[in-house]
Amino acid sequence: MKTAAAFCFRAFTDTKPLLASCVIALALVLATRSAHAVTVVPPGNRNAEQPSVHGASAERMRELGATYEKKFQNICDLLKKDARLRSEIRMTAAAYGIDPVHIVGAIVGEHTYNVDTCDRLQDAYLKAISRVNGSVNFGYRGESVGKFIKRAEFADCLKCKDSYSLWCCREKVWEKSFRGKSVDGTAYPDALFSEVFFGPFYAGQSFGPGQINLLTALKMSDRVHRVSGLPKLDIEDGNAVCRTVMEWDLVLPYIAATLRQSIDSYREIAGFDISRNPGVTATLYNTGGEELRAWALADKNARRKSEGLEPVLPQENYFGWMVNSRLDELKALIAHP
């Protein structure tokens, strides 16, 4: 509840229609929600058939002449052959209090739908340059993001106590004051904060074996530092941020932290325990924007309650649907010694 106001201003390209009513939704939810037991979302898919695959993913598959099944088997084979990686996944999951199948589902989903030869070449390029001191900088038209966030508009964000709320606050300010606007003679794109400032060398938006967005990594820095003891990420050290998302040993805690954040957000905001449904956590890993989505669901169910209707459960997208439909295989995979 305490972070809801900040997230009402966050925008994602596929959720813009939600933003206009977000403040009203927040007031309605606060007014109508009462103390109640958290609803456990049961395992399995809510949709009988797989929702449509994202157009970019489908187009990429056609261009490659590949199949989703082949890519699914490729990543599963990689995990089957790497006992050390499976062990690391299990230990990391335990540290973050989640079932390891959530991590496996996110990884397998990304490698089934969102990773291809081009992505691997981009990753190799970014990995190589990230090892050269001073080579990776985040910015827009010559202005580093470190300098950009020192503007007066971001002053209130300095009150935030952790990296997650801090960077979410900065996203809010971007959406409210800069996105699609001209400020001090600079025209800023009508695009996400991460797209504008965190796509170094035009190499893409997410990288590495977990396909982590670099801004997401910065958000999770404090949680990962607290739980796993890894050094905190510094916006002025782009090399370290890039290295973190490129290495299995470093990125696994960030994958786990991202999944844990989704579970926490849905429990605290929407009143749902999604920890037993890897398809839902995989969906949120794929889409991002867990807080905005949780508040939208809370609003929807508050309205339904006022109309005497039953609440609707969180639903999976095509990505999460696949994870749930192959859950037995994924559980067997991670259970393998």
So what's the pLDDT on residue 299? 97
Pull the structure tokens for residue 196.
Answer: 């504008």
* Cβ(154)–Cβ(170) below 8 Å: yes
The pLDDT value given to residue 31: 44
> So what's the pLDDT on residue 131?
56
Instruction: Say what the pLDDT of residue 242 is.
Output: 85
The amino acid sitting at 217 is A
Confidence (pLDDT) at 134: 56
122-126 contacts at long range (C-beta below 8 A, 24 or more positions apart): 122/203, 122/204, 122/207, 123/207, 123/208, 123/246, 125/201, 125/203, 126/200, 126/201, 126/203, 126/207, 126/242, 126/246
Q: Which pLDDT value is given to residue 128?
A: 57
For residues 301 and 303, what is the distance between their CA atoms, to the nearest angstrom?
5
> Which pLDDT score, from 0 to 100, does residue 201 have?
54
Strands 206-207 and 212-213: antiparallel
What are the structural domain ranges in the chain?
A: 4-335
> Backbone dihedral region of 275: left (phi > 0), alpha (psi from -120 to 50 degrees) or beta?
alpha
Q: What is the pTM of this model?
A: 0.85
Tokens of 182: 């001209």
Torsion of CA 40, 161, 290, 18, to 10 degrees: 120
The dihedrals phi and psi of 307, each to the nearest 5 degrees, come to -100, 5
Q: Each residue's pLDDT tens digit in the chain (337 positions)?
A: 444 444 444 433 344 444 444 444 454 444 444 445 899 999 999 999 999 998 877 787 777 778 899 999 999 999 999 999 999 999 999 999 999 999 999 999 999 998 754 455 455 555 555 555 556 778 999 899 999 999 999 999 999 999 999 999 999 999 999 999 999 999 999 999 999 998 765 555 677 888 898 999 999 999 999 999 999 999 988 888 888 988 888 999 999 999 999 999 999 999 999 999 999 999 999 999 898 899 999 999 999 999 999 999 999 999 999 999 999 999 999 998 8
- Both tokens assigned to 312: 């609707």
Residue pair 251/85 in contact (Cβ under 8 Å)? The answer is no
The tokens of 280 are what? 């839902």
Tell me the residue length of the chain: 337
pLDDT tens by residue, 77-116: 999 999 999 999 999 999 999 999 999 999 999 999 987 5
